[in-house]
Amino acid sequence: MSREVLARLEGQRIEIIGKIKRFGRTKICQGPPVRNTMLLLNVRDAATREPLTDHVWIIIDDWRSVDPSIVGRRLRFSAEAQQYCRQRDGVVSSYDWKLVPIGGSNLLPKRRKKKRLAIDECRAIAPASAD
């Protein structure tokens, strides 16, 4: 994770775009003992398209409302960068940054794949050469 970029954004509300890679579960220090999570890759600032981090895990409160078919789609949401401490056996081991969702989210439309034409199709489209 790009700690320097997220550190500069601490406390700011930003619009984020990331590609949904998979779902998971994690144990955390505060709150319920096990939380449901979603992994986002290639996380960018939606306004500037500048990369923020290569990946981020987002906590999902209502797991039942998640449709597994959204894996591979891009998600846009409002978030805030916050610092947190990592703990091992109840002892702080290091500090890191996380993106905390603070606003609504929406799936972006699927990108259309460009159709590749076969060589024969290209020849059919190309004007006949004058020999």
Residue 125 lies in a domain: no
Number of domains within the chain? 1
Q: Note down the domain range covering 52.
A: 3-111
Residue 117 lies in a domain: no
pTM tops 0.85, yes or no: no
Residue 130 lies in a domain: no
Give the C-alpha separation, 56 to 18, whole Å. Answer: 9
Residue 126 lies in a domain: no
Give the C-alpha separation, 61 to 7, whole Å. Answer: 25
Q: What is the DSSP letter of 9?
A: T
Among 100, 26, 102, 25, smallest CA distance to 66 is for 25
Q: Could you tell me which residues come within 8 angstroms of residue 28 by beta carbon, excluding any fewer than 6 positions away?
A: 35, 59
Residue 20 lies in a domain: yes
Q: Are 39 and 54 in contact (CB under 8 A)?
A: no
Note the pLDDT tens digit of each residue in 1-60: 467 888 888 888 999 999 999 988 887 666 667 788 889 999 999 999 999 889 888 888
Residue 51 lies in a domain: yes
Can you give the CATH number for the domain in which 95 is found? Answer: 2.40.50.140
Note the pLDDT tens digit of each residue in 104-127: 777 887 776 666 656 666 556 665
